[in-house]
Structure 1
């Protein structure tokens, strides 16, 4: 079934997102393989769409969204909270750290990622856990920088890098219930950016970090190493600001 058959258009931002706008009615459909999310401002239009889809496919209506691709949605009078607590717990089990002692921060100020160390004996496990941590950053901006640090060593992880990864998991152990909270309110965009000039002692490249809010709701964030070496802290800050501005314009 082509999306236009039901009056939908494909989003230019995400080909998995289908949009329907007619007068004051809008319906959004997000598709991931055979899982579908439907939302909009008209329950009548949504019900009609479900009936139209059921005429062509065998579908099961699971009701209000509660769990999708490892992300749990919890509703309250204040809004909605998104978390990946179940996913995080399964990740701890995979790493055999379900009973580990938690720590208060994902990175240690004394840890040197470039320290001399033996190669890690199971690089496949390292890559698997690091990839899972990347997925966890969907609702955990607090680990974004730490995960970015360890993912720079995917090709040849050392024992010291695995210890860094384990520390992130120990931090998650003590904060497994952390959530992103979204509440109705202002639609104004605001952003904050920063950089750590020459923060990586191994290559002297800086890291860009930004947070973008819609009203009081965090909707976009990043921690990413800059592609070139900045000659000054001012240059590093301007590069971070440029990336942040590009994201705001796209939003």
Structure 2
């Protein structure tokens, strides 16, 4: 067996990829990053660990998915260099996987919470990008928005409230600034200046009780005639 074929078979055994995917990886990267490179940043490692814990954690009626076709409903995992990770659920279990990943809570007096806290989703081509709010770390899951709706339905059937099934992920870097429009300057409300704010907040002053001194009056005291 050629060296590339041996490395391809080793990559397939570790990741569950098909031959074409594993061979493409070996040809592009060789063993420079190992067969399955770890995530570089600690934040990405924490996100991946939280996803795995949510899939393996049995809570109430939500049991881990069977291991017949893949561990916890995941058939393939393609880790790339850096912080790139793509997951493929087993066929037909996309909604079940999302049900265990997205946060939900039971209706008990002391509710139990499942899923990854703060997890959101966003469509990214053929994948759903999963990440926590206000973070840039992502894991791509081979699923569609329809699978999210199905996960919400399964969540309701299980007597749970899905906290984040309908909330999409907004990356901090993907927020586009508002485009300035040609609004007339007369229609723009300008905030009052500091002097105006001080004048509005201070109580009204009462007029002085003594005689008003004109600007032409001398500054020295005036002696009345006796």
TM over 0.5: no
Q: Which has the higher strand share?
A: 1
The TM tier, using the shorter chain, reads under 0.3
